[in-house]
Copies of this chain bind each other. A is one copy, B any other.
Amino acid sequence: MQEEILVRKGPEALLHSPTEGVTAFREAICRHMVPRGIRSSPEEVLVTSGSQQGLDLVARTLLSPGDVVVVEEPSYFGALEVFRSARVRLLGVPTDADGMRTDVLEALLARQQPRLIYTLPTFQNPSGCVLSLPRRRHLLELAWRHQVPILEDDPYSDLRYEGEALPSLKALDPYGHVIHLSSFSKVLFPGLRLGWIAAPRPLVRQLALVKQTVDLHSGTLGQWIVEGFLSGGLFAKHLGATRAAYRRRRDVLLAALEEEAPAGFTWNRPEGGFYVWCRLPEDVPPARLLAQAAAERVAYLPGGASFVEEPPVNSIRLNFTFAPEEQLREGVRRLGRALRATQAEPRRGNHTVVGTPPIV
């Protein structure tokens, strides 16, 4: 494949390329977005060094210290880090099984004028939830009324394992209020660091000016490699196989949780994406579970990192796409042991402190 690209493209694949991205790759991205309901021209697409860079470029281009940014809670911790380093004020809007509570957002917008609304509407990281169609429409209507741009972070929508696809926010937005951010890294070659932003042309130009000072352009060879996969039909084939494998892994994880989870440990059943979001029993303090899990050598993302401030309930995020099926089963067995061990631990609050004089 690489050999073929070098033969076909010659040294071009290894030389500098435009800051906005290789034109053939931007065209392929436009075709790739059609199933999401998005009709963009290549001039409305900026290639980024992964979607992480997309987040950073949007923050640098649109945000100033002290600006208000709305995020759903929980949210992607890597985005929260970007916003924090831009020194903005983060306001969280709670989510439920249908995604962001747009009624709460509506009340918030009556009092605040945010500079940006950040959302992962489809198979959210970390909760796996999907924003319902009525809420998508409500969110857009609020954004139009209050003139707030929406940053739609959408790296997972290609990975739907069941149920019907919803149009992306950008597909439902005729006014150019939605900045659509996505990535190839969830399906193909994360090491190539390739994502993109689809947005109105003037904003793409502004973002490209910032990108020029940040890294000149994204890797040329990688762009030609992924362009080759997209245009030659290999991407579609690979996506089909990936979906089937990840769906099986999700089912393995869910079945293992049914077997192993103690009472009070609950979780959702995502229709796609990477993650299952689990609520801890009330008698499991997150810090102690983490210590027990480390002792069992099993890893997960503690839920706290995904909240702006203190989380209302204690949760953890499990990834079902990374490990093969047998490792997933073993991981859940270990998690079950860690949960039970935490529950069996004597709780400090109930102990009489011995040897320290009472404070009077």
Contact = CB atoms under 8 A, between A and B. Distances in A.
CB-based closest 6 A-B pairs: A191-B220, A2-B2, A14-B189, A49-B215, A53-B215, A219-B219
A78 interface: yes
B15 A191 contact: yes
B50 A216 contact: yes
Interface string A43-68: 00000011011001000000000000
A344 interface: no
A107 interface: no
Contacts of A192: 14, 219-221
Nearest to A84: B213
A359 interface: no
Work out how many copies of this chain go into the complex.
Answer: 2
B213 A52 contact: yes
Contacts of A311: none
Contacts of A190: 14-16
B214 A214 contact: yes
Interface residues of A, number: 36
Nearest to A225: B221
Contacts of A52: 213-216
A6 interface: yes
A192 B216 CA distance: 11
A243 interface: no
B78 A213 contact: yes
A283 B212 CA distance: 35
